[in-house]
Every structure is written in structure tokens, then in C-alpha cells.
Structure 1
């Protein structure tokens, strides 16, 4: 079992280092801002906006409840897994952002995929666009040095699974 865990961590670490070493000045600034779409303030803004519009009120209310549940599940996993951030575990990793909580799973990615799935129910023609935005938020978390790829994948799966189950 430890052998499998070691192999998975090596692959996770290798992919993390490849992505986080692709930094370019203008992308650094872009991802530092773009990643916030998966953050709590943007998500609250989105939920309020959806709730205030009569045509999307039900989606906004559902998304608000779903995001509370998604956040609770993410925080439970963070507590149980207790994985430190890549910049805390790996030498010579300089994050472009610093986070205070644990690494696994990615809450920004979970929230982004949750919102993408919920909004895609209202605007099915934009499904691919919303999922691409969510995936790019996940990528930004690795690029910025705050998550391993497996953190992002787990966050995305949590956001998708819970939202599909609760919609």
C-alpha cells in the first residue's frame, strides 16, 4: 500500500512542479486574479446575483445551499487528510499566493465546478464554457503553487458529484 502511495505522490509532485514552473509574468497576474472566481467572495456575489433575478432565483437558492454543503464536505476532508500545501512540503517552491488552510481537496475548484454544473442547468448551451472556466480555476491553483494536481481533481469531483446529487 505504501508503494502505491509513494508512486502516486511522485506523479503528483512531478506534475505539480512541471505546471508551477511554467510561470510567465502576465500569466502570474492573470491567474492571481482569475483564481478568485472560485473563492468565497465571488461565489457569494454569484449566488446573490442569481437569487435576485426572477428567472434564476431557484437556481441561486439551490446553489447557495449546495455551496454550503460542498464547503462543509471540503473542510471535513481538509481536516481528515491534513495535507500541507506544496510550498510547505517542497523545497524551492515559491507560491504566488499563500493560503492558511490545508491543501486537500481544493475548495476553489470544488466551488467552481459546483457553480459550473448549477449554471449549466439554466444555460445548457454554455455548459462547455462554464466547465472550461472551472477547469482553468483548478489549473490556476496548481500554477500558483497552492495545490497538488490530486487536490484539484478531488475538489472538482466533490463539486460535480454533490451538485449533481443535490440539484
Structure 2
């Protein structure tokens, strides 16, 4: 594949748009500044998708290309960047009426997938599998909605059970567990915080208030994910830290309005 300096810079910039950390920050902003229900759907779907990604990576343990233009580590199958971007944008497109999200959901993940090939950090099968999972999981979840009429305690059991099942698989995957404790904990933490904030009938209306809460959310998110990543070798501790910090993030609207800040 032909490589020219300005093309290297362009595709490097594109590949950064698929970094999973970008979406772990962007989703809470949507949750606070735009719509809580949409933000939670994005978070739950995204974390479950990233869980599947980590399971596949550490179960199959397929290598990356030996020569790459981008410093990276870990296994190659499936592509995390391709899956992260297609999961986020397809989920957003399925849950909003904005036509631009549907266009982005098609174009951007494909560009990101190509950037991974251009930078020689993935094989074709890696990015194709990442895109299939990234598009397929949100669509499946969107179609298979939780039936109405299920008691609240039943929904609690579903989310708690899923999170515990997700983190418990960390002990049986042959190649390690990657970030499974973090995504499993974040999955449950988002649900806990959202259910409390769901009790609020009002949204944070004032722009200045939303800006303040967004800044707080970004601060807590960065501290939380950094701490959980540093403690990743301690599976249970990393899992609990992820639950606590993500719950705090998704509790921010509730705390802000309850404290009359």
C-alpha cells in the first residue's frame, strides 16, 4: 500500500476517531447535555459491544500485522476501532431522527476501518468482523427490546445478572481478560446512575448549568477510567471502581438538581 506523508497524517487523524476512549467521554456528554434516555442506551449498548470485542480478542488471540505505521498492542481480531465507531454511530442513528447520524453511521466507521488497514495494524478480516459486530449488535438490541410489563425488579435482575455474567467470563478466557472488568462495571454503573436520575421529571435547562455538569462528568470519567485501567490486574477492584465512577457520572443530573446547585 502506497504511503505518503500527508496521507499518513490524514488516516492517523481518522483512526483517532475510532478510539474507544473517545466514545466513553462523548456518551456521558450526550447523556447530560442532550437526552438522558438516549445517553443510557448508548452507554449500555456500547459497553456490551466492547465486552464482546474483548472476549473475541482474548479468546482467539489472533496476531496483528508484524509491520505497522501505528504503535499499538494487543490482539487484532476483531478491530476495536471499527467495532467501537460502528456501534456508537449505528446506535445513535437507530435512536434519533437526525438524518445526518445515519449518514455518519455509514461513512465514518468505513473510513475508520480503512484507516486501520492503511496503518497496517489490522488484517481485512479484523476490520470486517469489527464492522459486522458493531452494526449487528445495536440493531439486534434495538429489535429485541425488553418487553413492556416486566416488573422493575425484573429489569434490575437482568442488568445486574448481565454485568456479573460478563465479568465472570474473565476467569475462563484463555488469553486474559483485557478491559472486561471495566466495561462490565461501567455497564452496571450506568444503569444504577440512570435509574436514579430517571426519577427526575425535570432536565438541567440552563446552559451554564449543563456546562458545569459536563465539566464535572468529564473530570469524573477521566479519573474513573484511568483508575480502573491502572488497577486492571486486580479484576474485582477494577470492576468495583468502574461501577462506582460510572454510577457517579450518570447520577450527576440527579445530584445537581437535588442539591439545587
Q: How does the TM-score come out when normalised to structure 2?
A: 0.51
Higher mean alpha-carbon deviation, 78-87 vs 149-158, is at 78-87
CA contact (8 A) 1:32 1:96 kept: no
Separation in 2, partners of 1:110, 1:129 = 14
Matched ranges for 1:84-163 at <5 A: 84-87=63-66, 93=67, 95-121=68-94, 122-126=96-100, 127-163=102-138
Cross-structure match for 2:41 = 62
Matched, 1:26 2:6: yes
Separation in 1, partners of 2:126, 2:98 = 27
RMSD: 1.4
Which of the pair is proportionally richer in helix?
1
Higher mean alpha-carbon deviation, 147-156 vs 32-41, is at 32-41
Quote how far apart the aligned CAs of 1:164 are.
1.0
Separation in 2, partners of 1:123, 1:30 = 30
Quote how far apart the aligned CAs of 1:123 are.
3.9
Q: How many residues align?
A: 140
Higher RCO, 1 vs 2 (CA within 8 Å, ≥6 residues apart) = 1
Q: Which runs of 4+ in 1 moved over 6 A?
A: none
Quote how far apart the aligned CAs of 1:124 are.
4.2
Choose 1 or 2 for highest CA Rg: 2
Separation in 1, partners of 2:3, 2:105 = 24
Q: Which runs of 5+ in 1 are unaligned?
A: 1-20, 88-92
Query: Secondary structure, in 3 states, of the residue corresponding to 1:103?
Result: coil
